[in-house]
Structure 1
Amino acid sequence: MNEKEALILKLVKEDPFISLIDLAAKTDLSRSAVAGYISSLTKQGKILGRAYILPEKRQVLCVGGANVDRKIWSRGVLELGTSNPAESSKSCGGVARNIGENLGRLGNDVSVLTAVGDDHEGHWLMQYTKAFADVSPSETLKGHATGTYTAVLNHDGEMTVALAEMSIYDSITPEFIDRKWSYFASADFIMLDTNFPGEVLERIIDRCRKENIQLGITPVSSPKAKKLPQDLSGVTWLIANKEEAEALAGIDIRNEGDFFKAAEIIIHMGVEKVVISRGDKGLIYFTAKGEAGVLIPPAISIIDVTGAGDSLVAGIIYAHLNGIQTEDACKIGMACSILTLQSIETVNPVLNNEQLLDTYKQNFK
């Protein structure tokens, strides 16, 4: 931003309804020149639309999936090839949406950018999510069905298989992101999942790097992790599970050393901080500054694993935004994940700052 743009932005902040004539008089510029600067500031996301409306500051913008989660769990030992007695539930899901809800419950200023269908499921998702995050950046697309994710769990709560129908995200284009860029430019941190097409992910990563916007990425699955570009320069955090890390690093992870080898490869792709979760064995972290470590989780009773990875990400980003260093940020992420593992819901409805702090103290102090 140059001096003239900075001056115009200052004047607009003081009076969002100031006219071009008054702006021209106060800046010693022609009206056409002022209009040019206004156009530039709009493209940068510094102001929005007509009447020079200033963007509302959002601490975190979560970008990616918002789906209907359906869970079916066996009452007994799951037997393949035959009928199993089961119970089922339906809840709001989607990686980006889940992270946004977790962060919103923790008191962060959150917005969600996703796409849903013009159907009952899409309206329900947006209405529910409004309680925790601003959904105005999101889009309702006619002629598309809202994404769904169906998980089949065994009697211990472990996922046996999952089915995802998310073709709606294939309609998202780089131009769609460009039209929504004011929401990116006005955020302190972008949290991106990999539901959108590869060219869209690359556009977001590239623009965030050029505009020095903090960016975190969490892959949705190992196949979707492969959509990420090889150049991840400018990415602040990348948080993945074992299979996703294998897909990104291009190696098989067989032992603890391989976890760090994969993390180092991802660091060399340009990421500042890498976390690889290892299920009930905890996680490893590795940073471009040489920080590295292993965190082992406490033994707990698990009710349902769905959403635990998303809450881990949310806890880490929550800690990062509060200036907490890498190892403790990962511990807070694990504490957030513990709360989710002890709930049947994808996002634990009792999650708040106090619950998170209590869980952290009980398990990591």
Structure 2
Amino acid sequence: MNEKEKLILELIRKNPFMTQNELAKQLKLSRSAVAGYISSLTKQGKIIGRAYVLPEPSRIVCIGGANVDRKAQCLSAIQLGTSNPVTVTQTCGGVARNIAENLGRLGHSVSLFTVVGNDQEGQWLLETTSAYVDISQTVKLDKANTGTYTAVLDEKGEMVIALADMAIYDNVTSDFIQKRWSHISSASMVLLDTNFPGEVLKTVIERCRQENIPLCVAPVSAIKVKKLPFDLNGVTWMIANQDEALALAGVEDGNVEAACEKILERGVDHVIITQGEKGIVFKNKKGEHGALPTPKIEVIDVTGAGDSFISGFLYGIHNGEPFVKSCQLGMCCSIITLQTKETVCSNLNQHLLKQTFAQYFSREV
């Protein structure tokens, strides 16, 4: 950013509604010259939107899916080939959306970049999410249905099978990202799930690498993780469950240590593999590695636990906490979610997170 651009930003901060003619007069420049500087600042992400809207400091951008989640939990042991009595609930879902809402509930400024159908489900999703998340960059598509995800759980709350209708995301192209890059580039951190097509994932990873924007990737599933490009340089944190990590690494013998190494070789800075009740393992390019066990708790419902872990981890990193403590905060977020039937716990807040951390990992809040 040159001196003229710095002066323009300073004037806009004092008065965001200054016209280009007013800026030109104060700086003794032509209006066309000011327009050129404004265009440059917009491309850099220093100015966003109309009326010279300046980006919020420390904003996290979440890019990916926003779905309607339906859960059918069996009331007794599941029996195949026949009707099973269940209770059905409907909530907002989508990995990127869930993480965005969790972060919003934890007090962070967060934006969601996604697509929904121009239908009742899409409207409900946006209205519910907007209480905690900036949805100004979300697009409604007229000729597509809002994504849906249906999970069947056994009587213990463990997932038996999940059914996903995500065809809407096939409509997203790299142009969706390019047109909104000024909003993304001003973020302090980006979260990317793998619901969008491979070309879109590649674009986000490459541009984050080029502009040194910290990037966390959440693979969504063992199938969708394969949409990621082979070159993962630019990915700061890869947070995957065991199945996703093994699929990404091409490891078939269940060796998570080998999976970590192979993922690092593809360019990722830090790899975290979640293993449910077994805890997590992690490794980075510096050769640092370790494992953290999961505290013993009573599990009510596993849906959303992985998204919660990522949210808690990013909360810690964003607040300057050490890597291991950030992992512990991620576990605490999961613990809170696992003890409710909600995909995103409606009681989640910073105070509850700190209480949970004190209970399971430290007496110091």
Pairwise same-fold verdict (TM > 0.5): yes
- Distance (Å, rounded) in 1 between the aligned partners of 2:132 and 2:75: 33
Aligned to 2:293: 296
1:318 aligns with 2:315: yes
Matched with 2:194 is: 194
Q: Tell me the equivalent position of 2:265.
A: 268
Structure 2 residue aligned with 1:349: 346
Could you tell me how far 1:58 is from its partner in structure 2? 5.3
Structure-2 residue corresponding to 1:332: 329
Give the whole-Å Cα distance in 2 for the aligned partners of 1:168 and 1:57: 32
Instruction: Indicate yes or no: 2:204 matched with 1:207.
Output: no
Matches within 5 A, 1:124-203: 124-203=124-203
Aligned equivalent of 1:306, options 286, 300, 303? 303
1: CA distance, partners of 2:222 / 2:172: 20
Amino acid of the structure 1 residue aligned with 2:284? T
TM-score, normalisation: structure 2: 0.95
Distance 1:266 1:89 in 2: 37
Q: Give the SS at the match of 2:223.
A: helix
Supply the RMSD in Å over aligned alpha carbons.
1.5
Contact persistence 1:58–1:111 (CA under 8 A): no
> Take 2:183 and 2:66, find their aligned partners in 1: how far apart are those partners?
18
- Identify which range, 41-50 or 200-209, moves more after superposition: 41-50
Which is further off, 45-54 or 199-208? 45-54
Which segment is superposed worse, 332-341 or 290-299?
290-299
Residues 55 and 182, structure 1, Cα contact 8 Å, conserved in 2: no
> Does the 8 A contact of 1:242 with 1:253 survive in 2?
no
- TM-score of the aligned structures, taking structure 1 as reference length: 0.95
Unpaired runs of at least 5, structure 2: none
SS in 1 for 2:191: strand
Higher mean C-alpha deviation, range 304-313 or range 319-328: 319-328
- Displacement of 1:144 in angstroms is 1.1
Deviation string, structure 1 residues 316-360 (Cα, Å, up to 9, x no partner):
000101111111111110111011111001011111112111222
Aligned residues: 362
Letter in 1 for 2:32: S
Cα distance, 1:186 vs. partner?
2.1
1:76-115 → structure 2 map (5 Å cutoff): 76-115=76-115
User: Which amino acid in 2 is paired with 1:280?
Assistant: E
Kept in 1: contact 2:48–2:183 (CA 8 A):
no
Q: Deviations over 1:29-77 (max 9, x none)?
A: 4332222121111222221344323233452111111101000011111
Task: Give the letter for the 2:310 counterpart.
Answer: V
| One-letter amino acid of the structure 1 residue matched with residue 300 of structure 2 | I
Cα offsets for 1:158-202 (capped at 9, x unmatched)? 000000001111111111111111221221111110001110011
**CA-to-partner distance for each residue in 1:219-258, whole Å, 9 max, x for gaps?**
011111111111221222110011111121111242xxx2
User: Which string of whole-angstrom CA distances, capped at 9 and with x for unpartnered residues, describes residues 254-287 of structure 1?
Assistant: 2xxx212211221222211110011111110111
Asked if the contact 2:169/2:196 (under 8 Å) is kept, the reply is yes
Q: CA deviation at 1:24?
A: 3.1
Cα distance in 2 between the residues matched to 1:230 and 1:2:
36
Q: Distance in 1 between matches of 2:89 and 2:18?
A: 53
Change beyond 3 A, Cα 1:170–1:314: same
| 1:281 alignment counterpart | 278
Amino acid at match of 1:199: E
Q: Does 1:364 align with 2:331?
A: no
Amino acid at match of 1:305: V
